[in-house]
Amino acid sequence: MGSCWKNNGQPCDGDVTSDVTRYSEMILNPETPSWCRADDIKLCPPYHTFPNGTRVHRNDTGRFPYEAYHLYCSPGNAEYIEKPNVMCDPYSNPQPQEILQILPHPVWGDYGYPTRKGEGWIGDPRSWDLDVGRLSQSLYFYQDPGTAPARRQWTSIDLGTEIYKDPNQVAEWTATRKKFDSELEFAKFSKIYQQLLSGPNMTIFQQFYKQELDDCSLRNSI
């Protein structure tokens, strides 16, 4: 998921010196390790928030779920970020970015996400009912102290593969569009779908769901 807001919580306005692109990513590849470790916390977010609202600092080695995170990197223009930390690559975007990558782990199960390595990977096809909004509200993203919380609007939702620094690699992935079980389910999704089309980078939803929506609309008109 991708979004953009300034470190003071205000929406982005095109100023590349203060706008910050924020990314939240779930990595399914079971071979991906956790670079967030109790003995090396610089790639961990400062804290983890459990579904009940309990917040645990990354120094709490007995309760912080280190294996739930692949890595966290902070925006390069964050003035009050907790140390130690690692700044995100400043060259991937025309403006600062912040990246939080999570891994399958029991702490994400309450939101419908994978809870163990290998779930949803090759040989384990699944359908997921994800509470994306509630998860995104619980994740850590940097903000200047004393500022009003940013309104997190995820305008980009992407599905696919990403190859990191490996030359001559080929990746193949397949996604199938959901079949609606009832007209009520279709009606709920149709409303969300129309809202998503108003944002950028939403061609994946058009690709997978437009025919399904057209088919359901035709059935409703008969």
Find the length of the chain. 222
Report the half-sphere exposure of 123 (CA within 13 A, side-chain side). Answer: 4
DSSP assignment, residue 100? Answer: E
144 within 8 A of 8, measured Cβ to Cβ: yes
| Sequence spans of domains, the chain | 2-169, 176-222
* Helical H segments across 56-116, by residue range: none
Distance CA 187, CA 213 (A): 9
Longest dimension (CA), the chain: 64
Q: Please provide residue 44's backbone torsions phi and psi, each rounded to the nearest 5 degrees.
A: -105, 145
pLDDT tens string, the chain, 222 residues long: the values are: 889 999 999 999 999 999 999 999 999 999 999 999 999 999 999 999 999 999 999 999 999 999 999 999 999 999 999 999 999 987 667 899 999 999 999 999 999 999 999 998 888 888 888 888 899 899 999 999 999 999 988 877 777 777 766 677 777 766 665 565 655 555 555 555 555 555 544 444 444 445 554 554 444 433
Distance CA 44, CA 36 (A): 5
- Per-residue model confidence (pLDDT) at position 158: 75
Tokens 């305008």 belong to 155
- Per-residue model confidence (pLDDT) at position 217: 45
Write out the H or E segment, with its range, that includes residue 136: helix 132-138
Q: Please provide residue 100's backbone torsions phi and psi, each rounded to the nearest 5 degrees.
A: -125, 115
Tokens 């939803």 belong to 205
pTM of the model: 0.77
- Per-residue model confidence (pLDDT) at position 19: 94
